[in-house]
Chains A and B, each alone.
Chain A
Amino acid sequence: MSQTDLYTLVGSALFVIGLYALMTRPHLLHKVLALNISSSGVFFVLVGIARRVGGPVPDPLPHAMVLTGIVVTVSSTAFALALAKRIYTETGTAALDAADVDVGESLGG
């Protein structure tokens, strides 16, 4: 198995793990983290692609894309977290659906 295969397969796995968590975890913080894991997966795929030809120096273009992608992800994560936090401040819970909240339980969330 080549280095490219290893990185791109791990990246694919991370993407799918994030996707699963996004769909199944009701807590907004989990959802935001799930998207972060998925984006790390995409970056892994790109880093793997940068090495597909081999040689001493990797392809700089996927690296530049990853750097741009990281900044975009940092921005959207910051914004999503601020949104989640504001929702928590306004509603007292951090979920999208009221059905995902155990009203019976005591403080927390």
Chain B
Amino acid sequence: MGNISKNAYGMTLLCPIRQDDAAHSYSNLTRDCLETLPLHDNSPMAKVPNTYLCRLYVLDDVFYQGAPANEEHLKSKYLVFCTNFHGDRDTYLRGMWNAVQEDVKRIWGYCIAFDKVKTAGDFVAYAKQCQVTNSLFFNGSDGGPLDEQLKALYLRQEFTRFAFDNFGKSAVELQQAFREFVAIVQPDNLQTPTWAPGMTQETQQLQYSFHTAARKEEYA
């Protein structure tokens, strides 16, 4: 299966954009919409459950590479949506609709037949129509749920800090420090503290040592 790697799914949609009319270029309007989307943790896609990464762009046409290639053109311009996520396709699409349907309506607003999409079920059916099978899907993780992966990455980074900070301590001190560390990072709590989806800058509050009594002066 070209779209599935363990529990990760790679979905590619090619959604045809309406032909330009005398007054509007719908591909330009779509591009405008994409270029003004908020970024990183403010992106609407950061609110869509289990999104690892995704990309939206407008495909105008295929390039003619010169003779002896045949010159070919696409029948329309396309909004391309590539997304990698945890879980199955339909659940993901329903989650996306439920989380950010206003954004979805704006982004897809100039696509052919999207005006008929009114419900999560319609969105799933629409996406299936537009889906192409991936040929080289690569996913760099184990495909687990996003919150587990973010927590795991957070824990790994903080544990590296812990290892460097506490190197050379006696077994007793180390155990004490580790207890404090565990109490701060809460390994079993997927909600907090952890990295937020789309986050690109780590805050001080997320560094475990910020919460230790011994390191107060560093953060003063």
A and B: interacting chains: no
